[in-house]
């Protein structure tokens, strides 16, 4: 007879929140709250970027349109670029890194939570500055405001200053978040979570953070010089007075190329989580995938001069940039090969995350393959600065940030809310987005390569097939936007109305699926000893082994004494 053990009574929940919920979230330094702020904020800015894109596409629907005047068009273009990069793509990636990484490595929080908190607030401050356009005049200098168009002499209003302040605040925020992620990944991994067992998405977080620690300060330095030039009579980027307009190009392209790579590393890291779990196989050649992501960060960023083939730089530098760009074929090719090889022999469950992951792989492949042709120097002289390069960049970044971001959203939505996103709406959204992406950007490839339509122009002149291409591209952009809005609506509706799920809806391999959905503030009650790269699978197997043993019937014949 067993004696009942008297347990001490500990009540761990049930305390009423002391302050209103929004105050709790707004002042929280918890990585899950901050991650949700980043993800929600960047999805909101995705919508705003779409509106700006559609306004520009409406202007370009027919030749010599007068829907937008040139100044308004240039403002839309500048706002669109800053919003898409600084307020959507990079913070979306960082938001998922910030939310998921501590859960994946079995940490109960961040190492430097107030760094991350300050980073999120700097991002919000940057967004506020960029969109306080009614207080000043927005910048007209374009996506990357090349010196000396960005100088005081040519754009004397405060638009460029506000752009520089906004992107600078956001970039500083990203760097602080990256410092926090680097420290957390180094210090707070669970027992047994060696680097070789770290999930690929956490590797992507580590690589992206280190990348930001390199490219972020470069951009901050460039922006500081720009502000000095404009406000304190500096000459860093002036052509005549001993400065160099090319200096801005080098510094800014290092950042933009690096953040392009960051978005792709985020997308591939996400896909490398989804594909193995959905195919119920381990990632094929895990080590090679991780090594490839490292190589993409280094070699990809080293290819920044690929954007400067028309600038007065030596041909040797152009060949160097081309060699770096072409070398990227190897790591990207290996990642794609290994992701597909993971599917081979597996049992793929075609749910929304895998669907969006497949869309991301296809779109990124189209974008990068076109970038390969743009990096062939003489061909770059023909294709760069045309809508062909617009199309290539959009294929890669819509693939990485939108398809990849939506794959991440569908994948981790159950973890964040305890509910899955609606599958029907997800499928409708996906196929609308696929059709929209093809219609919006394939005609731009043709308009650029065949007709030489130039990039960033507020109008084009009628002639040949260029009219048809632009009209189709406008229709496609509207379809793409409709598809994206469907997923945003799906996310909003599913927060309350989605099907409730347990802690592990997908049968994932990494530790975030051990925590509750949504996780407790301290993430985990108990932490297992990590013994393999698939700790959650180990736990599931241990449980089923024990269950089997317990369910074994007693032997029929008792040994006779």
DSSP code of residue 133: T
91, 138, 159, 245: which one contacts another protein (CB under 8 A)? 245
23, 26, 194, 454: which one contacts another protein (CB under 8 A)? 454
101, 202, 270, 370: which one contacts another protein (CB under 8 A)? 370
User: Rule CB under 8 A: is residue 152 a binding residue for another protein?
Assistant: no
* Residue 321-340 contact track with another protein, rule CB under 8 A, x = bound: -xx--xx-xx--xx-xxx-x
- Residue 405 CB neighbours (<10 A): 28
Which span sits near another protein by CB under 8 A: 170-178, 431-439, 444-452, 545-553?
444-452
User: Rule CB under 8 A: is residue 62 a binding residue for another protein?
Assistant: no
83, 209, 386, 474: which one contacts another protein (CB under 8 A)? 386
Nearer to another protein, 423 or 456 (CB): 456
Q: CB–CB of 511/447 below 8 Å? A: no
**Residue of 33, 68, 76 whose CA lies nearest to 51:** 76
Nearer to another protein, 229 or 451 (CB): 451
Tokens of 108: 């109960």
Which span sits near another protein by CB under 8 A: 11-19, 255-263, 318-326, 476-484?
318-326
54, 362, 485, 527: which one contacts another protein (CB under 8 A)? 362
Nearer to another protein, 324 or 416 (CB): 324
Strand partners, 500: 419
Angle, helices 90-104 vs 245-279, to 10°: value is 40
Residue 107 CA: distances (Å) to CA of 98, 535, 545: 12, 14, 27
166, 225, 366, 515: which one contacts another protein (CB under 8 A)? 366
SS (HEC) of 37-52: HHHHHHHHHHHHHHHH
Q: CB–CB of 453/407 below 8 Å? A: no
Taking the complex as a whole, the smallest distance from the CB of residue 147 to another protein amounts, in Å, to 8
8, 14, 16, 312: which one contacts another protein (CB under 8 A)? 312
Cβ burial of 98 (10 Å; 0-12, 13-18, 19+) is: buried
User: Rule CB under 8 A: is residue 74 a binding residue for another protein?
Assistant: yes
* Residue 106-145 contact track with another protein, rule CB under 8 A, x = bound: ----------------------------------xxx---
How far apart (Å, rounded) are the C-alpha atoms in residues 94 and 554? 54
User: Rule CB under 8 A: is residue 457 a binding residue for another protein?
Assistant: yes
End-to-end Cα distance, the chain: 24
Nearer to another protein, 128 or 468 (CB): 468
User: Rule CB under 8 A: is residue 348 a binding residue for another protein?
Assistant: yes
Which span sits near another protein by CB under 8 A: 209-217, 363-371, 494-502, 513-521?
363-371
25, 125, 165, 376: which one contacts another protein (CB under 8 A)? 376
Number of residues that bind another protein (CB under 8 A): 89
Question: What is the SS3 assignment for 112?
Answer: coil
Residue 378 CA: distances (Å) to CA of 322, 328, 360, 450: 10, 19, 29, 16
Q: Name the region of 510 (left: φ>0; alpha: ψ -120 to 50; beta: rest).
A: beta
User: Rule CB under 8 A: is residue 451 a binding residue for another protein?
Assistant: yes
User: Rule CB under 8 A: is residue 307 a binding residue for another protein?
Assistant: no
Question: What is the SS3 assignment for 529?
Answer: coil
User: Rule CB under 8 A: is residue 194 a binding residue for another protein?
Assistant: no
User: Rule CB under 8 A: is residue 361 a binding residue for another protein?
Assistant: yes
Cα Rg of the chain, angstroms:
25
User: Rule CB under 8 A: is residue 384 a binding residue for another protein?
Assistant: yes
Nearer to another protein, 86 or 336 (CB): 336
192, 224, 423, 450: which one contacts another protein (CB under 8 A)? 450
How far apart (Å, rounded) are the C-alpha atoms in residues 517 and 524? 11
Nearer to another protein, 11 or 153 (CB): 153
User: Rule CB under 8 A: is residue 234 a binding residue for another protein?
Assistant: no
Taking the complex as a whole, the smallest distance from the CB of residue 325 to another protein amounts, in Å, to 9
Strand partners, 419: 500
Taking the complex as a whole, the smallest distance from the CB of residue 86 to another protein amounts, in Å, to 18
Q: CB–CB of 157/133 below 8 Å? A: no
CA 126 to chain centre: 18
How far apart (Å, rounded) are the C-alpha atoms in residues 97 and 267? 11
Interface residues for another protein in 255-294 (CB under 8 A)? 279-286, 288
Strand partners, 266: none
Taking the complex as a whole, the smallest distance from the CB of residue 319 to another protein amounts, in Å, to 6
């Amino acid at each position: 007879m067993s004696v009942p053990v008297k347990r001490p009574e500990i009540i761990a929940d049930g305390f009423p929140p002391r302050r209103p919920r929004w105050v709790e979230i707004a002042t929280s330094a918890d990585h899950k709250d901050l991650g949700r702020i980043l993800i929600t904020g960047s999805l909101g800015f995705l919508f705003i970027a779409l509106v700006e894109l559609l306004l520009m596409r409406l202007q370009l629907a027919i030749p010599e349109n007068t829907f937008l005047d040139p100044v308004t068009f240039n403002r839309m273009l500048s706002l669109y670029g800053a919003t898409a990069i600084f307020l959507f793509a990079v913070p979306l990636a960082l938001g998922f890194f910030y939310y998921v990484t501590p859960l994946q490595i079995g940490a109960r929080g961040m190492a430097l939570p107030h760094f991350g908190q300050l980073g999120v607030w700097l991002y919000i401050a940057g967004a506020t500055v960029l969109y306080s356009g009614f207080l000043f005049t927005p910048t007209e200098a374009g996506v990357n405001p090349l010196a000396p168009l960005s100088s005081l002499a040519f754009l004397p209003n405060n638009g460029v200053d506000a752009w520089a302040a906004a992107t600078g605040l956001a970039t500083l925020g990203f760097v602080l978040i990256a410092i926090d992620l680097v420290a957390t990944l180094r210090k707070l991994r669970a027992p047994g979570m060696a680097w070789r067992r770290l999930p690929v998405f956490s590797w992507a977080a580590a690589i992206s953070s280190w990348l930001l620690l390199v490219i972020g300060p470069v951009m901050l330095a460039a922006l500081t010089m720009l502000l000095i030039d404009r406000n304190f009579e500096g000459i860093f980027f002036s052509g005549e007075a001993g400065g160099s307009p090319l200096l801005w190009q080098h510094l800014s392209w290092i950042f933009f190329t690096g953040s392009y790579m960051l978005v792709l590393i985020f997308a591939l890291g996400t896909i490398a989580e989804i594909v193995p779990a959905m195919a119920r196989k381990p990632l094929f050649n895990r080590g090679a995938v991780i090594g490839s992501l490292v190589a993409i960060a280094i070699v990809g960023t080293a290819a920044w001069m690929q954007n400067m083939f028309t600038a007065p730089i030596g041909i040797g530098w152009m060949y160097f940039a081309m060699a770096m760009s072409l070398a990227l074929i190897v790591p990207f090719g290996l990642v794609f090969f290994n992701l597909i090889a993971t599917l081979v022999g597996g049992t793929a469950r075609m749910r929304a995350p895998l669907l969006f992951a497949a869309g991301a792989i296809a779109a990124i492949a189209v974008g990068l393959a076109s970038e390969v042709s743009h990096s062939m120097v003489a061909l770059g002289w023909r294709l760069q600065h045309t809508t062909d390069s617009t199309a290539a960049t959009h294929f890669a970044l819509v693939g990485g940030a939108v398809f990849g971001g939506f794959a991440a959203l569908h994948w981790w939505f159950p973890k964040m809310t305890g509910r899955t996103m609606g599958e029907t709406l997800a499928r409708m959204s996906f196929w609308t987005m696929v059709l929209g992406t093809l219609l919006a950007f394939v005609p731009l490839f043709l308009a650029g390569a065949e007709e030489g339509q130039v990039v960033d122009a507020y109008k084009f002149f009628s002639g040949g097939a260029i009219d048809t291409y632009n009209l189709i591209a406008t229709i496609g952009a509207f379809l793409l936007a409709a598809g994206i809005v469907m997923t945003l609506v799906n996310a909003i509706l599913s927060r309350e109305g989605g099907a409730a799920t347990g802690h592990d809806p997908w049968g994932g391999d990494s530790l975030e699926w051990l925590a509750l959905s949504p996780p407790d503030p301290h993430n985990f009650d108990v932490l297992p000893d990590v013994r393999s790269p698939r700790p959650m699978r180990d736990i599931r197997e241990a449980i089923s082994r024990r269950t089997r043993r317990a369910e074994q019937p007693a032997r029929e014949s008792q040994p006779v004494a």
